[in-house]
Structure 1
Amino acid sequence: MNSQKIIICMKWGKKFGPEYVNRLYAMAKRNITGEFRLVCFTDNPLGLRPEVETRQLPELGCEHPERTIGKWPKVALWGAELGGLSGPVLFVDLDSVIINNIDDYFSYGSPDDVILARNWAKPFSGMGQTSIFRFPVGKNSHILKNFRASAQSIADKYKFEQHYITSSVTGGIKFWPENWTRHFRLHCLPIFPLRYFVRAKFPKAAKVVTFPGGPNPSDIILGRWDEDFHPFQSGKQHIANALANSFSPKERWRYIKRYVLPCDWIREHWRE
């Protein structure tokens, strides 16, 4: 295995500010043995700490698909060239929380393996989840080439970028060991209605906690589901808000279920 430890991330648009990248660097520094690099592919490097290397966002090279909700700009990582990098690199989503040492993510398997977290929403589907994955730069460049040739039809077929990646890697993907990567909503957050009384549990055997589909770490710290919700309120207040708003029955039920208590272990780990 290549001894070089390279983490990459992507930041585009306004959803995530520079503090997300800076926290990722700080979490990695606390949880990696020896030297490492964090390379951020971004359309705006302002505010990033000087230790973070920046590169221009790789070009998707085609029109962004419509009618689909997948994070398709991530497909641009699969070109034959990627910001002058080579060998295996570890991609980490900006809303991930590193809670233990991650050295093993760099040494697990073969350098040519593409290794993903399992899609825990559909664990028996064989699909991967790309919140944290390792891949050899340039080794599956057909993924981007094919996407550029037929972006909308691929998006219509697969719906999510991670499903397309899982189905397209030459020789197939591999998965991280099960307890390394935990999905916050599925593994940590109590089921409804227990989440009104019990805080999210700390997965002490895990290395990284991911947040696909929300809620976001910054919102959980405030005790809310997302920016459309009030900062922490009692369960009674939360339900009263749901009843007071002009929601449809479906929207009201969704609002009631989206309740989360503030989480101290996220505040402890997701910081500079």
Structure 2
Amino acid sequence: MPIESTAGPQRHILCMKWGTKYGPDYVNRLYAMVRRHLSGDFNFVCLTDDSQGIRSEVQCFPIPPLDLELKPGQVDRAWKKLTTFERDLYGLRGRALFIDLDVVVVGSLDAFFEHPGEFLIIHDYARPWRRRRITGNSSVYRFELGAHPDVLAHFRENMDAVQAEYRNEQTYLSDFLYHHGKLAYWPAEWCPSFKYHGIPTWPTNYWREPFVPEGARIMVFHGECNPPDALAGRRNRRFRFIRPARWITSFWKA
């Protein structure tokens, strides 16, 4: 059962878990990594459709309803993450840092709450000719709870049109906040991509192990493999060899 909302610290870590792709161990490991790398008090919240197995330090709430019906053959593009922008998200108040479950925290998180900006997100790693240059990667973003309800309201009122124009929630989110003058990015070195920045270039990837780039605070795993895959030296595309990323064992643990 979800834990009832209570008054607490003004810094919140948000994550979201739905379906069966990620088990409660991902939430539990993320909590542990945040606890080791964020000084002072904070409130850890998981929006989820199943709170079973999640450690007691995590406050669990149901994912707010989005009333989005996927059409036959349509892929879930993480539109549920837009519900973090509810005007009143279970009575929570303060500054929230949303973090995806499939990341590894490798450095201090304190500056993520201190960096200036109204809405901060990763500047997307994809090549500029493949996506809009302004697009953010929503693996890590920060905002004031309740400050941007128009993001969600506009989506709910225009679901079909938004989905026809935008590939996923992060493309829509970036574009919407950009045109409202509120989009800003984290320093590039803080949230590097494992795929683009943590794998040695060919052919050295055959004898050099994946690594944590200098200045990294959160390693983002997207597209090809998650932390356990990288630890085992697996990628989901043939002929893209990597050695086991043994550095993960030092950070990705409960």
**TM-score, normalization: structure 1?**
0.83
The Cα of 1:166 is off from its aligned counterpart by 0.5
1:64–1:73 distance in 2 versus 1, CA, 3 Å: farther
Looking at structure 2, the residues matched to 47 and 180 of structure 1 have their Cα atoms a distance apart, in angstroms, of 30
State the SS of the aligned residue for 1:256: coil
The answer on 1:129 being equivalent to 2:137 is yes
Looking at structure 2, the residues matched to 12 and 225 of structure 1 have their Cα atoms a distance apart, in angstroms, of 23
Q: Higher helix fraction: Structure 1 or Structure 2?
A: 1
The answer (yes or no) to whether the contact 2:12–2:94 under 8 Å persists in 1 is: no
State the SS of the aligned residue for 1:267: helix
The answer (yes or no) to whether the contact 2:70–2:76 under 8 Å persists in 1 is: no
Looking at structure 1, the residues matched to 95 and 77 of structure 2 have their Cα atoms a distance apart, in angstroms, of 24
1:193–1:150 distance in 2 versus 1, CA, 3 Å: farther
User: 1:97 is matched with which residue: 95, 104, 107?
Assistant: 104
Opposite residue 127 of structure 1, the aligned amino acid is T
Percent identity over the alignment? 35
The answer on 1:271 being equivalent to 2:237 is no
The answer (yes or no) to whether the contact 1:93–1:132 under 8 Å persists in 2 is: yes
The Cα of 1:267 is off from its aligned counterpart by 1.6
User: 1:148 is matched with which residue: 153, 156, 169?
Assistant: 156
State the SS of the aligned residue for 2:172: helix
Higher CA-based Rg: 1
Q: Structure 1, unaligned stretches of length 5 or more?
A: 227-253
For the aligned residue pairs, the C-alpha RMSD in angstroms reads: 1.8
User: 1:70 is matched with which residue: 52, 74, 77?
Assistant: 77
Looking at structure 2, the residues matched to 5 and 136 of structure 1 have their Cα atoms a distance apart, in angstroms, of 10
Greater Cα offset, 124-133 or 191-200? 191-200
The Cα of 1:69 is off from its aligned counterpart by 5.4
Opposite residue 178 of structure 1, the aligned amino acid is A
Looking at structure 2, the residues matched to 57 and 145 of structure 1 have their Cα atoms a distance apart, in angstroms, of 16
The Cα of 1:93 is off from its aligned counterpart by 0.2
1:100–1:117 distance in 2 versus 1, CA, 3 Å: same
- Number of aligned positions between the proteins: 240
Map 1:231-246 onto structure 2 (within 5 A): none
The answer (yes or no) to whether the contact 2:212–2:219 under 8 Å persists in 1 is: no
User: 2:182 is matched with which residue: 148, 165, 172?
Assistant: 172
State the SS of the aligned residue for 2:182: coil
Greater Cα offset, 11-20 or 129-138? 129-138
**TM-score, normalization: structure 2?**
0.88
The answer on 1:24 being equivalent to 2:34 is no
